[in-house]
Structure formats: C-alpha cells, structure tokens
Amino acid sequence: MIAKELISQTVFPIQTSDTGEESLQMMQVYHVRHLPIVNHEQLLGVVSEEDILIHDTKEAVGTYRLSFLRPYCFEHDHLFEVMTKMGRFQLTIIPIIDEEENYLGVVTMEDLLQYFANHFSFAEPGSIIVLEMARGNYSLAEIARIAEAEDIIILSSFVNAIPDSHRIYITLKVNRQEITAFKASLERFGYEISATFSEIGFNDGLKDRYDALMSYLNV
C-alpha cells in the first residue's frame, strides 16, 4: 500500500486567503486538527488548530506564522513512511505530493486507522501474545518454528522498543484462540510472556457478567 492509494476523497485544502474562522469550521467538518494550505496546486504548508487560535481568527491564514512548514509524503511512499511522518509531527493529516511537488491530496489519521482495521489480520479470529525480551535475543524465525510445531500460524507481528531500555515487546497475532500449549512451548524455550489476549477469555468474561446480571435481576 502506497500513499496515493490512501488519499482522502472528502478533505480539501484551504488557501492563503481563507480566514482562521473559515479554517476552523472546515477542521470541525472534517474532524481534523490540521489542514494543508495550497495555492495553484502548490503546497505552501500545514496550518494547525493551535496556529489559528494564537492569531486573529478573522485574519487570512496566509498572514500566520506556522508551526509546521511543509510536512509531506510523496505519492509512492509506503504506508509505513506515511505513518512515521504523521507520528513524528503529531499530525491528523499529511499532504501527498507528486515528483513535481504538485499537491495531490491528504491522508488522514482516520484513513490509516480504517486501513489497519481492515487489514494486517486484525479482523481475523485468534489470539494476541506479547513477549518481552532483550533486543539481541529477538529471532522471529525461532518464534515461527515454535508456532509451527504447535500447528499455529503467526498472522502478524510488531516490535515495540521499551523506552530507556535495551528490551523490546514483540506482539504476535496468531490464528488460534486456544494457545495454552503454545504459551507453554514459548516458556520452555525461555521466552517471557508479558500478556495474552484471547477471544475465548473475552467471550467467557462477557458471559460471566451476563450471568451475574441475570442472577441479580432474578433476586
């Protein structure tokens, strides 16, 4: 998935002649806190809600001093590059440009969340296992071999560094809801399981709460 395939069809840019008030209204309509400023297909910058509120909202945004100058991604940048830049600048949108630096549109945070919700195996039934380990001990190949031995498929995996530490979290989404044997195998190979999340446990918990509520109502 590349940037141009995620461009929003509903969010439009503002121009330097638009006022702060008009820009805030557009942000409210689009449910974002940033908007691109574009004149004649040229990306001039990105204005934030904070930029507007520290200025006279009746003035044109072209007179504002912006906290973001020209954050952007190219149309062929990978999804992960889009995510990286949005996270780095804490943006709710990021402009997309072509090789000639013409403005093409924006990718919104909502677009990204929707894409992840529908992809990366998040919607697949199964379980989630979180492992904690030293960075130097990480081997996805070994973890995959342990999973295969238990007839389990790893649908997706994510690595998250622990701040101020040489340790990391490995989050695994697997295709099985019953993972007791897999957990035992991981522990046998010396892996530290930080957390597990299973649809079985979730559904059992809902049933327990439902049964408790019914018992209370019948008293």
Specify whether domain 3-116 bears CATH 1.10.1040.10: no
Are the beta carbons of 3 and 79 closer than 8 angstroms? yes
35 contacts: CB under 8 Å, gap ≥ 6: 11, 13, 14, 23, 26, 27, 46, 47, 93
Residue type, 59: E
Counted residue by residue, the chain has a size of: 219
Phi, psi of 165 (to 5 degrees): -155, 160
Determine the Cα–Cα distance for residues 38 and 28; give it in Å rounded to an integer. Answer: 19
Per-residue pLDDT band at 127 (split at 50, 70, 90) = very high
Q: What is the pLDDT of residue 133?
A: 95
CATH fold match for the domains 3-116 and 127-204? no
Determine the Cα–Cα distance for residues 36 and 31; give it in Å rounded to an integer. Answer: 14
Q: What is the pLDDT of residue 68?
A: 83
User: What is the residue extent of each domain of the chain?
Assistant: 3-116, 127-204
pLDDT tens digits, 34-62: 999 999 899 999 999 999 999 999 999 99
Model confidence at 208: pLDDT above 60: no
* Cα torsion through 23, 24, 27, 31, rounded to 10: -170
Coil/strand/helix, residue 198: strand
**For the purposes of burial, counting CB atoms within 10 Å of the CB of 157, is it exposed (0-12), middle (13-18) or buried (19 or more)?**
middle
pLDDT tens digits, 172-183: 999 999 999 999
> 97: which 2 tokens?
């440009």
Q: What is the pLDDT of residue 138?
A: 94
Q: What is the pLDDT of residue 202?
A: 46
If one counts every other C-beta atom within 10 angstroms of the C-beta of residue 67, the result is 14
Among 28-42, 63-77, 115-129, 143-157, the minimum mean pLDDT is found in 115-129
If one counts every other C-beta atom within 10 angstroms of the C-beta of residue 5, the result is 12
pLDDT tens digits, 135-161: 999 999 999 999 999 999 999 898 999
125-143 in b/e burial notation, b at 16+ Cβ within 10 A? ebbbbbbbbeeeeeeeeeb
CATH number of the domain at 127-204, please?
Answer: 3.30.70.260
**192-198 and 103-108 beta bridge pairing:** unpaired
